[in-house]
Chain A
Amino acid sequence: MRNGRCRQLEQKQMTREMTGAKMVIQALKDQGVDTVFGYPGGAVLPIYDEIFLQNDIRHILVRHEQGAVHAAEGYARSTGKPGVVLVTSGPGATNAVTGLTDALLDSIPLVVLTGQVPTFMIGSDAFQEADTVGITRPCTKHNWLVKDTNQLSAILHEGFHVATSGRPGPVLIDIPKDVQFATGTYEPAKPNASHYQPIVKGDMEEITELVAAIEAAERPVFYTGGGVINSGPAASQLLRELVDATGIPITSTLMGLGAYPASGENWLGMLGMHGLYEANLAMHDCDLMINIGARFDDRITGRIDAFSPNSKKAHIDIDPSSINKVIKADIPIVGDVAHVLEDILKVWKARGRKVNREAIAKWQEQVSAWRRVNCLAYTGSEKTIKPQYALQRLEALTKDHDRYITTEVGQHQMWAAQYLNFEDPNRWMTSGGLGTMGYGFPASIGVQMAHPDALVVNVAGEASWLMNMQEMGTAAQYRLPVKQFILNNERLGMVRQWQELLHGERYSQSWSEALPDFVKLAEAFGAKGILCSDPADLDDAIMEMINYDGPVIFDCLVEKHENCFPMIPSGKAHNEMLMGEADTQGVIQAGGAVLV
């Protein structure tokens, strides 16, 4: 009897009349959303009313809309689920633009809901009116202005479908206030309602050609990217199986770290402008490059006409526009990474699990020789904390924890990518494509919301961190134990490095003047502040940070003039890396220092 009534009730909830505002909440529930990051305002008040009247969806009140979007990105990247944002019209929407662009470039699934002035006032320059769909058209995967409450539920479900299908990305749904107030019919999500159905299976002919190339290759290398992580945990598993079964060395972009474990024996480390020597040289000298879910970004390729000159290039990507955009692919495969890897493994196994063992053993030897160069070596110091040392200690003291890392943008980000090791996907959240300073702190909040018991550390620079420091309020309000590990060199370190190397040491505007006392700042928000300037105290200080149950600002005063190496200078090839200070100071001729 009770069951029957429940079922009737459920039936009723599926298709029924309700206000637009209620539809928003209903659609979020139906899509399995548990957390929304947002900030209220006039044009979204009806939706906030509905949030007030329910307990299924947590709303996290941020301190700035940009923070809401980055927090949702952190949530999305650490869970694989879409992040959801709710902000008001006008300034609420425009403040979300940086986050949307960031998510678009890094292919992060987001559903951003914005309030809009009532339909009858659109175009009248009403209070807090902005052409939100116009402004966000180039920085979303798709967006909608909902003009009729009866269309709202279908658009909300389509929004989740578009954000998460194919190459993921942010979508925005602009909902005028009268559409929120009006009553209409709520329709539950229907499978295959959308014409947008990207191809996930790769072409078998191309896959077979790739397998044949793998069998014959003498110096193959896997070059993997964020697409592996976006494809889901199965993709990482299949990648590990393929790499370990073939013994082919593997490198990854900044976005793809964790897809293959850093402890894996075929791991080369990150490649690119600040990538590892062995990774870049393997890319340069390989005879078969297998790009899986990466996009030949300019930070990766360096000079195009000198990029891996003697290799056959296979490119697996779900987005056809990524293929042949920058680098001509000899074996193009359009499809989802997990699906394609599954087929590659199937074909490779069926053909007898062949690889050119002898040649690959020789290639691995070469890779080992490059590894012995120890490109991440740096000059230590007993007086000042070297940023590399700080990260090595952070790695040593946190690696056994259930750990998630976010970063801001700059030198600290590259050092974090070099010195921290990631064993699993979805553990590393960083702004890759857009390079958004101010990303890491709100992202760490989103990650912590999704993983309340995990250790979430934002590796930051002091300048980046200040860009969204208002989110201390959010961290304090929700008692989120996010650790803000600030490598404070009182400089915009990466800008300073470029000015030193490329602009005649004219350090124009690249220092952090009038910095706050971070310990007092933490205390002002009821959080813990830790200051550390002596390498001898570092371990104890990091342990104190880990063990404190609450938000921590860790002000780590580091060497001010440290440069990030290895570095491929702009417009140079992979084998023209600068390995350390000596290279840049002309003590050693560049040609001699850069071993090929």
Chain B
Amino acid sequence: MSALHIKKGSTRHSAYNLRPTFSDVQEKHTLAVLVENEPGVLARVIGLFSGRGYNIESLTVAEVDHTGHLSRITVVTTGTPQVIEQIKAQLGRIVSVHEVHDLTVEGASVERELAIFKVVGEGDKRVEALRLADIFRANVVDSTLNSFIFEITGAPEKIDAFADLMRPLGLAEVARTGVAALLRGV
């Protein structure tokens, strides 16, 4: 045994086992990233998340300013406060990124998501699904004799709640857009 006090054959001592002692509380943040609308820009953002091991809970992207060639990417991510700060800093150094906003800390924000649900069922279940859809202000956008497609818009929690209710009533398929968000006020 050497003076390092490492047993021969031990592999537990790695140079990379150096995690700092930052807070380990996981937080959920919604980031709005304004990017140059150019080929590969989404890959840059996603590649950053996968390459550095960050989480993506949801992601939406679309052009928002045609003349200015700008797209808005809304990312919902989770991590410790230090990781969230890193994500913002790392996003900020991507050359195609114009602005990074943390909507979770910059003030009250509005978050909306659109989802469509296919619910298959007959009889009472079908009636109950329609009744609940009315309570949630979901619209029927397609119907057959034994199925509905509901369209619902709202905060992700509302959509989760609606999905939970539809599950025993014959929920067959779900498509969700992911979160779009804006800060309130000016």
Q: How distant is the Cα of A142 from the Cα of B85 in the complex, in angstroms? A: 22
Best-buried of B9, B36, B89 by chain A (most CB within 10 Å): B89
Q: Is the pair B16, A137 in contact by a Cβ cutoff of 8 Å? A: no
Residue B1 interfacial (CB < 8 Å): yes
Q: At the interface with chain A, which of B92-100, B129-137, B138-146, B166-174? A: B92-100
Q: Is the pair A570, B14 in contact by a Cβ cutoff of 8 Å? A: yes
Contact partners of B4 in chain A: CB under 8 A:
501-502, 569, 578, 584, 590
Q: Chain B: residues with CB nearer than 8 A to chain A? A: 1-6, 8-11, 13-22, 36, 39-40, 43-44, 47, 51, 82, 85-86, 89-90, 92-96, 98
Q: How distant is the Cα of A589 from the Cα of B4 in the complex, in angstroms? A: 10
- The B interface, classified by DSSP as helix, strand, loop or mixed, is loop
Q: Is the pair A586, B92 in contact by a Cβ cutoff of 8 Å? A: no
Q: Is the pair B95, A196 in contact by a Cβ cutoff of 8 Å? A: yes
Residue A66 interfacial (CB < 8 Å): no
Q: Is the pair B39, A145 in contact by a Cβ cutoff of 8 Å? A: yes
Closest to B5 in A: A590
Q: How distant is the Cα of A298 from the Cα of B86 in the complex, in angstroms? A: 17
Q: Is the pair B14, A589 in contact by a Cβ cutoff of 8 Å? A: no
Residue A162 interfacial (CB < 8 Å): yes
Q: How distant is the Cα of A301 from the Cα of B4 in the complex, in angstroms? A: 18
Contact partners of A323 in chain B: CB under 8 A:
89
- The A interface, classified by DSSP as helix, strand, loop or mixed, is loop
- What is the minimal beta-carbon distance from B169 to any residue of chain A, in angstroms? 44
Q: Is the pair B20, A305 in contact by a Cβ cutoff of 8 Å? A: yes
Contact partners of B89 in chain A: CB under 8 A:
319-321, 323, 325
Q: Is the pair B82, A324 in contact by a Cβ cutoff of 8 Å? A: yes
Q: Is the pair B14, A321 in contact by a Cβ cutoff of 8 Å? A: no
Contact partners of B36 in chain A: CB under 8 A:
195
Contact partners of A320 in chain B: CB under 8 A:
89, 92-93
Closest to B1 in A: A586
Q: How distant is the Cα of A153 from the Cα of B15 in the complex, in angstroms? A: 45
- What is the minimal beta-carbon distance from B112 to any residue of chain A, in angstroms? 29
Q: Is the pair B43, A303 in contact by a Cβ cutoff of 8 Å? A: no
Closest to B17 in A: A571
Q: Is the pair B47, A571 in contact by a Cβ cutoff of 8 Å? A: no
Best-buried of B20, B85, B90, B95 by chain A (most CB within 10 Å): B95
Can you give 28 A-B contacts (C-beta < 8 A)?
Answer: A137-B44, A137-B47, A145-B39, A167-B93, A195-B98, A196-B95, A298-B16, A298-B18, A304-B19, A304-B20, A304-B21, A319-B89, A319-B93, A320-B92, A321-B86, A321-B93, A324-B85, A325-B89, A502-B4, A502-B6, A502-B13, A505-B8, A571-B17, A571-B18, A583-B3, A586-B1, A588-B3, A590-B5
